[in-house]
Chains A and B, each alone.
Chain A
Amino acid sequence: MINLVVALPAEARPLIRHYHLRSREPRGLFPVHENETIRLVVCGAGKVSAAAATAFLQATGDHAGMQGWLNVGVAGHAEQAIGEGLLAHRITDQATGRQWYPPLVIDRPPPSGNLTTLDQAGPEYPDETMLDMEASGYYPIACRDATAELVHSYKVISDNRQSPAGSLNAARVEDLVSGRLEEIDTLITQVSELAHELRALHAAPPELELFEANWRFSVSQRHQLRRLLKRWHLILPGESAWSGLPVGLRHSREVIACLEERIGVLMPDVPRHD
């Protein structure tokens, strides 16, 4: 699952069309559009709204493990050509001076640049940075949900010193985002794959359900059981931990103790290649 945080309806429309996202009903604090793999929230302008919508999307999600996050929108830049797409490699909150550095671990990331989040848009275009009004609100909140490698902000340049923002309208914003759908799609795919990889690592070990169906485990025992079964199936792949259990185990603590004892005498082979 990947979560998209978008400020304006005009920025959202090309993505909603492209991914065939359906409007979530009933509508909550923010409009959400979704399909089986993508959720998109339209947060409105400003970093406070962006932070709130990010938290809203997280809180109303399915909590099915590690997810990716992408903030998509338009941004100004002093020199970059209009229509260029840039990933943020440094996000600065102008008001507080706080900075974040989204790690670029995906394969062949698109061109990247600095991104400064302003409280209010102005006529100035400082050198060497994109300008937006959402990223510094979105980023730290999304990083509470996912590891930073899965949290990114991608901007399409909408205005610059030669062509200031005054002439922008909704149709133009839609065109600009539409022009970068291919790159956005690649980014979404790559971030989703990383998220999937992490989720798979923490998937339930084989036979967990079988054990849980037969004994009642406390929360901490469930963690123990999970780790013990994981260890068992790493050392003895394909061999059942269940089938060798002695009959007559009545309590969950006896099951845990039995598994611990059996695993304690196992000797791992030369570890497998990654």
Chain B
Amino acid sequence: MIDVIYIERDIRDHPRTRQVCARFPAARQISCERYGEVFNPKTQNFRLQKRRPALILARKFDAHVLKAPDGFGIGGTRNYYFSHMLNCLYDCRYCFLQGMYRSGHYVLFVNYEDFEQAIERTLALHDGQETWFFSGYDCDSLAMEPVTQFTRHFLQFFERHPAACLELRTKSTQVRSLLDRDILSNVVIAFSFTPDAVSRALENRVPALDRRIDAISRLQTAGWQVGLRFDPLIHHQDYQRHYDELFRRLFSRLDAGRLHSVSLGSLRLPRQYHKNIVRLYPDETLFAGNLQENCGMYSYPQDLETEMHAYCTGALSAHIPADILHPCGYATGHKGHA
């Protein structure tokens, strides 16, 4: 539910602005010049704003498509990401967004067409060779679909550009816009998971595990390519048993032979983000554990991380073919965990 909508004056009459506002007729509408006036001031509290996040409607002027960090990807060599939104409907305690942004408000960039042009220009740079575009870096790709119509819009675009591959990263069960249309072979819907107990404790507002598995199952039945992302791996007592249980629940319902890709990711937080998050959540057990700083990045100690990766890789190999497993998908760790 959105109670407050900030609207950049410049896009007040944009059709997408009107469409979004029409969904929340009771919301207070507040004009602003640029979204940064609301989103960027220093003295804001992400944690408090997450109680009642406002929606900010804005235009993105540049940097619509960005090169993905090295080591980021699922097999492709040309990897980019784009973010039509900043911030996420969910409130996952390990998420880097809470350390990166001062505000917990959602920013939605309504000028989708400018993103499309930027993707076209990027494709042209590579002479139309297969190029990956990742969505879900700074937000969840599907969670706000009823409001943003993001997927509905962008899938039409990717249908016209078969060399452009799209990964939609999500924890959402909002798959209707996908099920309502023909499948696309250049689109992968990638679902992130942590064990049920971890999800219940750390992934606030995320749909229940079984509902997400059900959504994936329906997508697979319809023929969509689906990926699984165990990112980040969360260390805790009984983690081996909990990950075993997660894999069992997933692969008892899903067709492992038809999965596009599976990847593992590490918990990585840049030093400043970690500092910001600990200041916001001093009561959070996750950050009371033994995270260590290495080259400006907080993560589990190397031996623990190696142990977790090795264990989960081994456990996964009992369920999936080796060639779809990307054991360490994201080397930099600067990745949204949608």
Contacts and interface: CB of A to CB of B under 8 A. Distances in A.
Interface of A: 89-90, 99-101, 103-107, 112, 114, 143-144, 146-149, 194, 198, 201-202, 230-232, 234-235, 263-274
Nearest to B278: A227
Contact of A149 (B28, B48, B238): B48
Nearest to B91: A274
A270 B31 CA distance: 43
9 contacts: A100-B41, A143-B41, A147-B45, A230-B282, A235-B288, A265-B290, A267-B290, A269-B237, A272-B201
A89 B202 CA distance: 32
Contacts of A101: 6, 30, 32, 37-38, 41
B2 to A, nearest CB: 12
A114 B32 CA distance: 11
B289 A90 contact: no
B289 A105 contact: no
Interface residues of B, number: 41
B28 A148 contact: no
Given A112-B28, A201-B282, A273-B201, A234 B288 contact: yes
B101 to A, nearest CB: 13
A33 to B, nearest CB: 27
Interface stretch (B49-57, B126-134, B142-150): B49-57
A270 B195 CA distance: 10
A103 B237 contact: no
A141 to B, nearest CB: 11
Contacts of A144: 43
B283 A201 contact: yes
Interface of B: 3-4, 6, 28, 30-33, 37-38, 41, 43-45, 48-49, 51-52, 54, 93, 103, 105, 197-198, 200-202, 204, 235-238, 242, 282-286, 288-290
Contact of A105 (B30, B38, B52): B52
Given A101-B30, A103-B44, A268 B288 contact: yes
A271 B43 contact: no
B201 A104 contact: no
